[in-house]
Structure formats: C-alpha cells, structure tokens
Structure 1
Amino acid sequence: MSRQRSMEVIEQAEYVTIGELVRLTAVRYSTLKFYTEEGMLPFEQTEENLTRRYRRVESLERIAQIRRLREQKKTIPEIKEILGCGEL
C-alpha cells in the first residue's frame, strides 16, 4: 500500500485521489464515489495507472457547488441538469 501524502502536499497538488478529496472536504468516500459514478465529479485515468485522478481545484469547487445545491433541497437529477451532466 502506498504512503499517504501530507496535507501540505495534497493542498498544493494539481491532482488528488478520491481518498485525498475525502481528507480535503470531509465528504464520505461513498458519497464522492457516487458523484463520480453519476458523472457529477469528473476525473482522469491514465492507461498505465488505473487510479482515478481528480483535478484538485475544480473538484473542490464542484463538491462545494453540489453541497450548496443539496442544501437547497435539489434532487440528484436536478443537480445533474444544473451541472450539465448528461446521461452516461
């Protein structure tokens, strides 16, 4: 198993893992995985490394936006429409 990066490194990184997003946002892993699977949280994946990589800044902004919409009692389909997420 790989070593965890320090928060200082994570906070400066261009790309982060889903586990690092959990540490940055305090959003549950299962929630972030759901957002990813629903196409609400974009990621990149290289051929040689199957780990999903998330752009840190864009992902933090997207998660904050989803949180605000959930606080407004928006449903997942409504949020997907607002975010411009089409069907996968």
Structure 2
Amino acid sequence: MTGPSFKPHPLSQPTGSLLSGIQHHELLEQLRQNATDDWHKRESARARMRVLVKRILKKYGYPPDLAEDAVKLVLEQAEALLRQFG
C-alpha cells in the first residue's frame, strides 16, 4: 500500500530487501536494554548507542558505506519516540 504517509523502511538494503524481523527485534531489544533515561542528552551514552547499532548492522552484513546514515536515522527515530512517549 502506498500513499502520502508511506515511507521506505530506514534499514532497507540497496537491493530493496529489508533486515529480517528477527534482526529488527534484536536491534530494538539491544537499544531498550542499553538505554538510560538521559541517553539522548549525554554524548558518552549516545556514542555507546551508536556503537551498539553499528555492531548489529555489521553482524547482519549491512553495507558499511550505508551504515553511518542508518545509525544516524535509527538514533533520530529513537529520540523522536522518546519525545512522543516520554
């Protein structure tokens, strides 16, 4: 279904295939387990979260040349969720 609110998944691979649901689940669980209340405010905590996301992307063969943008997007989305639910 496409429409004005349709956006491609942020972790799409160049071929158009997505990371599997298991990989998404692992990424979300790791972020939840390692997030502190103020992780989005402290640079050291943000750095730890960036490393965590990079490791998971590398583990599943995400293209290194696209990983930095994916990490940035994942952290932006996490911050947006925090503002929405926090």
- Into which bin does the TM-score normalised by the smaller protein fall? 0.3 to 0.5
What's the TM-score, normalizing by structure 2? 0.36
Where is the helix percentage greater, Structure 1 or Structure 2?
A: 2
The answer to which structure has the higher strand fraction is 1
